[in-house]
Every structure is written in C-alpha cells, then in structure tokens.
Amino acid sequence: MSDTKKRILSGIQPSGALTLGNYLGALRNWVELSRGDEYEAFFMLADMHTITVRQTPKDFRKNAMDLLALFIACGLDPEKSPIFFQSHVPAHSMLAWVLICNTYMGELSRMTQYKDKAKKHASNLNAGLFTYPSLMAADILLYQADLVPVGNDQNQHLELTRDLANRFNNAYSETFKVPSAYNPKVGARIMSLQDPAQKMSKSDTNENGYILLLDPLDRAANKIKRAVTDSGSEVKRGEGKAGIENLMSIYGACTGKSFDEIETEFEGKGYGDFKKAVAEAVVETLRPIQEKYADLMKNKDYLKQVYKSGAERATRVANKTLAKVYRKVGFIEP
Ligand code: TYM
C-alpha cells in the first residue's frame, strides 16, 4: 500500500433501496475516481449510521447485502479498493467517541440534516441522530482521506469534519489530514421527479418522486415520463423551470453531455421528445447494473469474501490512526 497516493473515502447508508440520486451524486464518481492510479480508495456501507432510525433487522440485513452487490454492480473493484461494513471496523465507533468529546452542541444543532430528520422522526429523537456528524467525521479522518466524493447534501457534514480535524490538530499536534468534499459537476443534487424543490430521496412518500437502481426498467421510464415540468415547451434552464433543469441534470449525468449541448440537441423539440430521450438514457444506465446485480446475488460466498477482506484491509489503516489519537489524548497504552 503506497503512502504517496491520495486517499478517498466515502460511504452510503444501507437504509433502503439505492436511488438514481445516490448513483449520480456519489457512486458513479467513486467508480470514476477509483479507476485510475491517482487515488487509493476505501468504500464503506455506513450501517452504523442507519440505526439512528429504527430498522427491522431482517430488512436491514437484506438492504445491506443488496447495497454491497450494487456497489460492485455499479463498477467498483473490490480487489483494488476495499469495500467494507462500518460495523465490522470497531475503530469507527472508538474514534467517534473522542470526536464527540471535541464537537460542540451548537455545531451539531446547526446541521440542516439533523433538523430535517428531527422533524421526520420526532418520536425517536435519539442521541445518535444528533451526534451522527461526529461519527461521519471519524469515518473520514481514520483513513486520512484527501477527498470525499459526495452529493452536495453532505457538504455541511464535510465542513464540520474539517473543523474537527483542525481543532484536534491544533490541540494535540498534527494528526489528521484535513479532507475536501468532491461534488460532481453534474448530478450533485438530483431533485424529486414530483417536486423539484425537494431532493430525490428514498424516504419520499410519493414513489413517483424517485427512481431506484433496481426499479423494473419500464417503471423507471414511466416515472421519467410522468415527471413534473412546467407549462412551457423549451428545453432550457431558467426561472420556473426547475423540473426541466432536473431532467437535464439526469440526462447530462447519464450521457456525459453538458447543459449547453442538451439545449442545442433539443432546440425546437418539445418536452415529449426530451422526456423520451431522458427515459432511454436512464434505462440504458440501469440495465447493465441490474444484470450484474442479479449475477452477484447468486454468489453470496463471493460477497462475503469481499466484505471480510475489505474489513481486514480497512482495519489495518484505521487502527494506525486510532492508535495515534489514543496516544495523543493521553490514554495509557493497553
Ligand atoms: P446517504 O446514504 O444519504 O447518501 C449517499 C450518497 O448519495 C448522495 N445523494 C445524492 N446525490 C445527489 N442527489 C441526490 N438526490 C442524492 N441523495 C443522496 C449523498 O450526498 C451521499 O454522497 N452520511 C452519509 C453517509 C456517510 C458518509 C460517511 C459519506 C457516512 N459516513 C463518510 C461520506 C463519508 C449519508 O447518509 O449519505
């Protein structure tokens, strides 16, 4: 393992089926960034984050294995970049405690995701939901990550991570690399197909608002065709055109075309033609992923070997940072 390569760490919660938003905002870029030789990457299934909302154990286990298979089906190479469950690497919770003791209540209270979730889960407003950003900081700092590829809803958590790294470094001497967020140029925030003011999310009560990576293909296409637009007819960005702009982002992220190119392509054509093209682009993005996923799910032994070896490799790196931190805060060496 080289010490000179830059490091990447990112994670997704196995809290339900993966959406097109998760794919275009995060996973697709993980595949891009980890493909070459520039970075050494670690990819995590953030299962400890998921229990901040009560889970049914059987469904939780299924979602976790599904997500693992999807990571690989989307193109991650587990030989090259370890893929692991957060709960298999104890260093995450062990560093989280130290960071929680260095995070201010005021900082956590300001997290918009916490405020949103607190509204949604008022009957289970547990302390984990509140301290979750400190655990996320631990996930990142343990690996001395340079870059964290995420959709832009995670940027505030990344800012806090940077603050915590600097705070610890100043108090105890240089320990953590201060990481940066990496947002994709197109697709960093995919919006609901039914309400373009809300981000696309699997917790949406309207199923037509989101596309799942495992949606049957005709269903995914229909969701695009039913997407909310506006009373105009031009495929262009602009005031009052959030629905069209969102479809342009999806189309652009799936095809690699820029907004300008898309506007030129659909000049003089109506929303019907445009939606048909978007639906096709989405279907062609999902098809190979679904085929690979179906194959992988037939081979549970392979999946098990992936997450076991992933956890071993992740643990080696994480434990190095943890040992340094424990020594610096003054814990007696065991
Ligand atoms: P999670 O599981 O909610 O989302 C996983 C990734 O998907 C991105 N994303 C989106 N991108 C664009 N448009 C959308 N509509 C959309 N919805 C979700 C998210 O930005 C994210 O990149 N706390 C994290 C998981 C986590 C993590 C970490 C991430 C735990 N530890 C350490 C990075 C590093 C979360 O709940 O993401």
Say if 259 falls within a structural domain: yes
Range of the domain at 269: 207-294
Query: Is residue 179 domain-shared with residue 315, that is, in the same domain?
Result: yes
Query: Is residue 244 domain-shared with residue 223, that is, in the same domain?
Result: yes
Mind giving me the DSSP string for 230-291?
Answer: -S-------TT-HHHHHHHHHHHHHH---HHHHHHHTTT--HHHHHHHHHHHHHHHHHHHHH
Protein residue whose Cα sits closest to atom 20 of ligand 1: 151
Atom of ligand 1 nearest to the CA of 49: 30
Place of tokens 């997407």: 227
Domain count, the chain: 2
Tell me the backbone φ, ψ of residue 303, rounded to 5 degrees. Answer: -60, -40
Query: Is residue 229 domain-shared with residue 80, that is, in the same domain?
Result: no
Residues with CB under 6 A from ligand 1: 9-13, 21-22, 25-26, 46, 49, 136, 139-140, 148, 150-151, 153-154, 188-190, 199-200
Query: Is residue 173 domain-shared with residue 281, that is, in the same domain?
Result: no
Protein residue whose Cα sits closest to atom 29 of ligand 1: 11
Say if 287 falls within a structural domain: yes
Query: Is residue 80 domain-shared with residue 14, that is, in the same domain?
Result: yes
202 Cβ contact list (under 8 Å, min separation 6) = 15, 16, 17, 18, 19, 210, 212
Q: CATH number of the domain that 220 lies in? A: 1.10.240.10
Atom of ligand 1 nearest to the CA of 13: 2
pTM: 0.95
Query: Is residue 121 domain-shared with residue 51, that is, in the same domain?
Result: yes
Q: CATH number of the domain that 113 lies in? A: 3.40.50.620
Say if 219 falls within a structural domain: yes
Query: Is residue 135 domain-shared with residue 240, that is, in the same domain?
Result: no
Say if 201 falls within a structural domain: no
pLDDT of 192-226, one tens digit each?
A: 999 999 999 988 999 999 999 999 999 999 999 99
Task: From 19, 22, 23, give the residue whose CB has the most ligand 1 atoms within 8 Å, as the site to mutate.
Answer: 22
Q: Where are the alpha helices (DSSP H) in the chain?
A: 20-22, 28-35, 47-50, 57-73, 91-100, 105-109, 112-120, 127-141, 155-172, 217-225, 242-255, 259-265, 271-296, 300-329
Protein residue whose Cα sits closest to atom 9 of ligand 1: 22
Say if 1 falls within a structural domain: no
Query: Is residue 250 domain-shared with residue 114, that is, in the same domain?
Result: no
Say if 252 falls within a structural domain: yes
Query: Is residue 173 domain-shared with residue 75, that is, in the same domain?
Result: yes
57 Cβ contact list (under 8 Å, min separation 6) = none
| Residue 300: strand, helix, or coil | helix
Say if 195 falls within a structural domain: no
Query: Is residue 154 domain-shared with residue 282, that is, in the same domain?
Result: no
Cβ atoms of 157 and 18 within 8 Å: the answer is no
Active-site annotation holder among 202, 257, 269, 324: 202
Query: Is residue 30 domain-shared with residue 120, that is, in the same domain?
Result: yes
Q: What is the pLDDT along the chain (334 residues), one digit of tens a residue?
A: 456 899 999 999 999 889 999 999 999 999 999 999 999 999 999 999 999 999 999 999 999 999 999 999 999 999 999 999 999 999 999 999 999 999 999 999 999 999 998 888 888 899 999 999 999 999 999 999 999 999 999 999 999 999 999 999 999 999 999 999 999 988 899 999 999 999 999 889 999 999 999 999 999 999 999 999 998 999 999 999 999 999 999 999 999 999 999 999 999 999 999 999 999 999 999 999 999 999 999 999 999 999 999 999 999 999 999 999 999 999 999 8
Protein residue whose Cα sits closest to atom 5 of ligand 1: 12
Atom of ligand 1 nearest to the CA of 22: 7
Q: Is 202 a catalytic residue?
A: yes
b/e 120-143 (16+ beta carbons within 10 angstroms → b): eeeeeeeeebbbbbbbbbbbbbbb
Q: Is 257 a catalytic residue?
A: no
Protein residue whose Cα sits closest to atom 16 of ligand 1: 21
pLDDT of 119-150, one tens digit each?
A: 888 888 999 999 999 999 999 999 999 999 99
Say if 69 falls within a structural domain: yes
Q: Is 269 a catalytic residue?
A: no
Query: Is residue 253 domain-shared with residue 117, that is, in the same domain?
Result: no
Cα 293 from chain centre: 18
